[in-house]
Structures are given as C-alpha cells and as structure tokens.
Amino acid sequence: MDFMNYDIFTKDQWRNFYQGASVPLTQASLKQIKAFNDRISLQDVQDIYIPLIHYLGLLIHNFDGWQDTKANFLRQESRHVPFIIGIAGSVAVGKSTTARLLKVLMNHFFGGQRIELITTDGFLYSTAELKKRGLLARKGFPESYDMKALIKFLNDVKSGKPLMEVPVYSHKIYDIVPNEVQEIERPDVLIVEGINTLQLPHTEQIYVSDFTDFSIYVDARPKLIEEWYLERFRALLKLAADDPENYYHSYSKIPEEKAVEAAKNTWLTVDLPNLEDYILPTRNRANMIIHKEAQHIVDQVMLRKS
Ligand SMILES: Nc1ncnc2c1ncn2[C@@H]1O[C@H](COP(=O)(O)OP(=O)(O)O)[C@@H](O)[C@H]1O
Ligand SMILES: CC(C)(COP(=O)(O)O)[C@@H](O)C(=O)NCCC(=O)O
C-alpha cells in the first residue's frame, strides 16, 4: 500500500515545525541560490528547505553522538564518520537542483563543516562501454551503472579514506568526461544524488542505501516531469547551437519542434519506462518524500515513521 508507513504533512504543517528565524539567509546567499537556478521559489526555500535543513541538523547531531557512544563501547578511538544523504527520483524531476540547494543551505547553516555533493551519473558506463555491452538504449537503467565502483566509493567515504576520485558525467557531451575526476576529501556530509540511490541492483549484495544515513525521494506526476524534461532539453539545445562539441549540436540544426519531438520520444521510450519499472518502486524506501506540483512548487512532505 502506498505511503503506509509515512506521516504526511501539508506545506503549512511542515513550515510550522521550524519557525526559528534566528539565522536568516543573507542577501548574498539568496543571490547564490538564484544564480544556479533563477526559477527556484524562494518561498519554498523558506517554507520547505530551511525546516528540512534544521531537521537534518538534528539528525546529524544525533548521528555524531552515536558514533562517539559506539566507539566508547567498543573501546576504540572515536573518529568522525561522514553522514551520507541520498537523493532519488526520476530523470529530470529536480534531484540535482534539490541537492545543490541543500548544499548551499548546509554550507550556510552548518558553518565549518565540509559538505560535498556527487551524482551517481559519474558511475554510468561511458558511451563506448555501453555500446560494447549492447546497453546504449538502456542508459539510466540499473545495468548501465558500474555499481561495484559506486559501492566501493561509498565504502571508502565511510571508512575515512582521505582522498577519493569520482568520474564526471556531462549532460552536454552526453558521456563520461575523459581524463576528468571530482576529488572528494574528508567530507563531514556527503550528498549522493541519482536515480539509483534507493535501488537494489541484482548484481550486488550491498546497496547504495546501506551507506546512506538519510534518503529523500523527489516526487511529481510523470506528466509534469515530462514537461520539465522537455524544458531542460530546450535549454540544452540553446547551449548547443554554437558548440559543435555539444551532443545536442545536430539537434540545434533541425526545426525546434522536430528536435523536441525526438526528445519526447526518448522520454516515452527510455526515461518513463525506467521511472515506472525501476525508480518509482523505490519511493517507499525513502526516509522522506518531497512532492512537487507545477512550477516545482512543493505541496507535501512525507516522513517515514520508522
Ligand atoms: N525547484 C526548482 N525550481 C525551478 N526549476 C527547477 C527546480 N528543480 C528543478 N528545476 C528544473 O527542472 C529541470 C530538471 O531539474 P534537474 O535538477 O536537472 O533534474 P534531475 O537532476 O532530477 O535530472 C531543470 O531544467 C531544472 O532547472
Ligand atoms: C544520465 C541520465 C541517465 C540521468 O539523468 P539525470 O537524473 O541526471 O537527469 C539521463 O539524463 C539519461 O541520459 N537518460 C537516457 C535517455 C535520455 O537521453 O534521456
């Protein structure tokens, strides 16, 4: 049954859980938020995301305390264990925007802590490798990710490895960027964003969610997500027009409606089935579900009871 184990809160209810205005966002940090997405609703930042940051702050505080208690019991030296937040949901639902927003807000509110963000897109096989494996049409599906490498990375983070490297994926070239890595160095909080963060891949015994301390599923109606997918595609097309290196460059040379028609076809034949068959079934494993309506406005927050 859907949402069997969740408390469901309207936006008003959720907003009222945290009214502390003692640390207001400065004009500079609001500008920073607007700079990466000028359509983001600042009202939602105030009503949804700032209470969420404070909720996370409480969780992290408890988590740190438990690490000390546990080390004490085991007569081990206490060490700082990174807190990992997973963010799941459909392609184009707004996972990376949510993740980046949380990062900006945590940097603001959790002074002095190192907040890092990675996307599991970096663990997709390269286009050449997908071709070799006959998986080009299955990009984004569970088998298109190097799950072993992703799990090893998360294990390294939790074990306190000082420096890690993550491959980088680019929507612009539609592939893993050759010879580029993202360095991750001793994070206090690591946000891991990706469609597969709540999945149980049949190839592995250990899952991403074994390493996450809190998980968020970003949710919306598939018809709306399709709109957002096509909007993002139009934005990518604009960027591609003057850039022959861009994967979408050839699309920018044909009439826009034709290009959008092709993107819609990709949504209907690849990303929507992936949502229905592999992503949506993981929703009820999340600790929190953030539900959005038109214009990405959040209308409900659901918290798993246990
Ligand atoms: N909260 C938001 N407010 C406004 N636009 C958003 C918001 N979240 C996402 N978007 C837009 O929706 C599209 C998909 O978002 P994105 O973060 O790239 O999704 P995902 O990482 O899930 O694929 C992008 O064009 C992005 O700018
Ligand atoms: C790289 C992705 C699997 C992940 O998507 P994201 O969550 O970053 O939007 C996706 O953008 C994708 O390329 N899907 C394959 C079909 C398509 O071109 O949309």
* Ligand 1 proximal residues by C-beta, below 6 Å: 37, 39-40, 89, 91-97, 228, 231-232, 235, 296
Domain presence at residue 108: no
Domain presence at residue 145: yes
What pLDDT score was predicted for residue 31? 73
Q: Output the tens digit of pLDDT for each of the chain's 306 residues.
A: 578 899 999 999 999 998 775 445 666 776 777 777 778 888 898 899 999 999 999 999 999 999 999 999 999 998 899 999 999 999 999 999 999 999 999 998 898 899 999 999 999 999 999 999 999 999 999 999 999 999 999 999 999 999 999 999 999 899 999 999 999 999 999 999 999 999 987 777 889 999 999 999 999 999 999 999 999 999 999 889 889 989 999 998 999 999 999 999 999 999 999 999 999 999 999 999 999 999 999 999 999 998
Angle at which helices 95-109 and 50-73 cross, to 10°: 70
Residue-number span of the structural domain to which 139 is assigned: 6-103+114-304
Please name the residue whose Cα sits nearest to atom 17 of ligand 1.
94
Q: Give the CATH number, domain containing residue 29.
A: 3.40.50.300
Please name the residue whose Cα sits nearest to atom 9 of ligand 1.
94
Domain presence at residue 1: no
Q: What are the tokens at 182?
A: 């993202």
Q: How far is the CA of 275 from the centre of ligand 1 (A)?
A: 16
Domain presence at residue 295: yes
Domain presence at residue 109: no
Q: What are the tokens at 263?
A: 């993107």
What pLDDT score was predicted for residue 39? 85
Phi-psi region of 75 (alpha: psi -120 to 50; beta: other; left: phi over 0): left
* Ligand 2 proximal residues by C-beta, below 6 Å: 91-92, 95, 121, 139-140, 195, 266, 270-271
What pLDDT score was predicted for residue 23? 45
**What residues does 301 pair with on adjacent strands?**
9, 290
* Count of structural domains within the chain: 1
Looking at ligand 1, which atom is closest to the CA of residue 37?
A: 27
Q: How far is the CA of 139 from the centre of ligand 2 (A)?
A: 7
Looking at ligand 1, which atom is closest to the CA of residue 232?
A: 25
Nearest alpha carbon to residue 126 among 188, 55, 89, 177: 177
Q: What sign has the CA pseudo-torsion 38, 42, 43, 45?
A: positive
The span from the CA of 88 to the CA of 218, in Å, is: 6
Domain presence at residue 192: yes
The span from the CA of 170 to the CA of 175, in Å, is: 6
What pLDDT score was predicted for residue 4? 87
